[in-house]
A and B are shown apart, each in its own frame.
Chain A
């Protein structure tokens, strides 16, 4: 494997930072076409709220539904990105997430702090997400809040 040159590495870091920025924005603006376009077909998602989804198609069945009645905030910070090869990388991002919604006529909220553990691959000239695992180390919610929203009704 030929290693990345310093300039190639900086360009790849920038591209992965852009990918991440688009994902957080797509999520919070519910731009699901953009969201889907950032993920490889074989993308694997894992999070404490819903377990494991083993393809991008499965993720796209559930993510829009889970956020249908929520106003969400996903903020990601201070990436730790490392390259396994010129076309494969993994990253850790610190995150804060908030959700706001109405439940039986009252305002409710959920707040979480954690880390995204992600992998990326450059395919067909562009970087895509190939996996994402979200772990929380601190969660809070309003009294009586039902969260995460149920997906089966």
Chain B
């Protein structure tokens, strides 16, 4: 009941997957300008272990500090479950695995698993992130090996 043709639906699914791919690449290559450009100004982030960040600017300030050059991150996302509320609003759940390394020593600090719960909005013809909540199923701190 989302008011789109089959092809419009498939194109929108593809555009949201592209948005997600860019976000994961932007965070792991520390391309904060790209990262910011993928999020609506009013984006809300809520990740286990952190307070809510109520705007994209607050988010980028925190994320770029938490994942500065002293950390190397890997974020891999899989198997999106995307549903549409309208032709311009959607939500999704993605399986995820992340690894955070100490850049200087190479030590694996965190190996985590969980699900990203996200919402998206098409603004001026472009899909953007509206919100993201990471719900973790497991965090291994300083595990012996992957």
A→B interface (CB under 8 Å): 6-7, 9-10, 13, 77-81, 92, 94, 96, 111, 113, 115, 137-138, 140
B→A interface (CB under 8 Å): 7-8, 10-11, 14, 17-18, 20-22, 24-25, 28-29, 72, 74, 76-78, 99, 101, 106, 146
Residues in A whose Cβ lies below 8 Å from that of B18: 79-81
Structural contact, A10 and B21, CB atoms closer than 8 A? no
**Given known contacts A77-B76, A94-B76, A138-B74, A10 and B25 CB-to-CB distance under 8 angstroms:** no
Structural contact, A137 and B29, CB atoms closer than 8 A? yes
**Given known contacts A77-B77, A78-B20, A113-B74, A7 and B7 CB-to-CB distance under 8 angstroms:** yes
User: When A and B form their complex, what is the total count of cross-chain residue pairs whose Cβ atoms lie within 8 Å?
Assistant: 54
**Given known contacts A78-B17, A137-B72, A92 and B11 CB-to-CB distance under 8 angstroms:** no
Interface centre among B25, B72, B77 (most CB of A within 10 A): B25
- B24, B72, B146: the one contacting A78 at CB < 8 Å is B24
Residues in A whose Cβ lies below 8 Å from that of B101: 138, 140
Residues in B whose Cβ lies below 8 Å from that of A94: 21, 24-25, 28, 76
